[in-house]
Structure 1
């Protein structure tokens, strides 16, 4: 038997499903989350401690006005957006509680009624561009809490081309959050 070189078949790019499986099976270090952003697995730290009070204030107000059967939480769950081949773990979400009855490790993004991202230096670009583009096609309401600029922006009325409406206020002002919530978010103390 003679030795001869055997070419290795070129590996095709990973599929969305295989990347999603990899993210689900990852053992990320405590305090970190993994997401699929722009076709890549991105690991980033959870929010800083100083974000907690703002996150709690937003979560409590959203829970009081959430659609029936929906829950507001900050738990690190992954939501899959198959049409965009993305999967995000929002900083805060409001979703149909029935979505968490499934056996899988990620929830269907169709369960979301609202997502909120709290910007950091490392995530600000993704929160304002990548995620805005994906959420804007499906999620009824998207809040961007811009921790660097001390502003909060509400996007609503999703369409195939992204959100049709938005409003920005500085921390300390009230922000109208449209249906299915229909209330004024108080940012006093932010």
Structure 2
């Protein structure tokens, strides 16, 4: 993972956020093929593509959602689309987003490049060793804002964090976002190997039997 320095940012032809929204930031930071460019806590962060253990977990979750598709499960998954947080000037690329099917279809027909938080019901992030602190709940007095704060401040109703850190190895569902605090007020967690249950409006279970921390 690389964070652009203030000097590098000052050489950009526009603000990082404006470039990111237009899809031009990747070119100016010379990101290698497959690398993810995001603005997290006001900083330009360039992350390498995740490996198979990370992608396998994200794939497990997506598969569960896709198998549940039907008249009583009105959600669509999205991976790889950016989420624009205009209020704070950040831009994230979540591992998975869950979006109402009608909202998803409207966005698709409108040809938008990125979605906005109001369109998203749940986000999923799976941590990797190089950038876990971008996804985890910040700790300590000197912490900087990250995706956890951004999702809460944007009032994303649910944030499912799959934390592959060997010290944690848990899936944590954050809910009840507080916009003013930029924090989630409630959480529920499951150790790897335990079945995750997502509450209404999803009412779905996710098997975590094959999930492992990043030291395995």
Q: TM-score, normalised by structure 1?
A: 0.81
What aligned pairs does 1:109-188 form with structure 2 within 5 A after superposition? Answer: 109-128=117-136, 129=138, 130-137=146-153, 138-149=155-166, 150-160=169-179, 161=181, 162-188=183-209
Match of 1:42 among 42, 45, 50: 45
Distance 1:50 1:154, change over 3 A: same
Q: Which residue of 1 aligns with 2:96?
A: 92
CA contact (8 A) 2:84 2:90 kept: yes
Distance 1:62 1:158, change over 3 A: farther
Displacement of 1:117 in angstroms is 0.8
Q: Extract unaligned runs of 5+ from structure 2.
A: 1-9, 139-145, 212-216
Q: Which residue of 2 aligns with 1:73?
A: 78
Q: Extract unaligned runs of 5+ from structure 1.
A: 1-9
State the Cα deviation string for residues 52-71 of structure 1 (Å, max 9, x = none): 32111111223327985531
Displacement of 1:100 in angstroms is 2.9
Instruction: Tell which deviates more after alignment, 63-72 or 95-104.
Output: 63-72
Distance 1:20 1:30, change over 3 A: closer
Q: TM-score, normalised by structure 2?
A: 0.72
Distance 2:174 2:112 in 1: 29
Q: Which residue of 2 aligns with 1:5?
A: none
Question: What SS does structure 2 have at the residue aligned with 1:181?
Answer: coil
CA contact (8 A) 2:77 2:96 kept: yes
Length, aligned pairs only = 178
CA contact (8 A) 1:114 1:142 kept: yes
Q: Which residue of 1 aligns with 2:5?
A: none
Q: Which residue of 1 aligns with 2:35?
A: 32
Larger radius of gyration: 1
Distance 1:184 1:89 in 2: 24
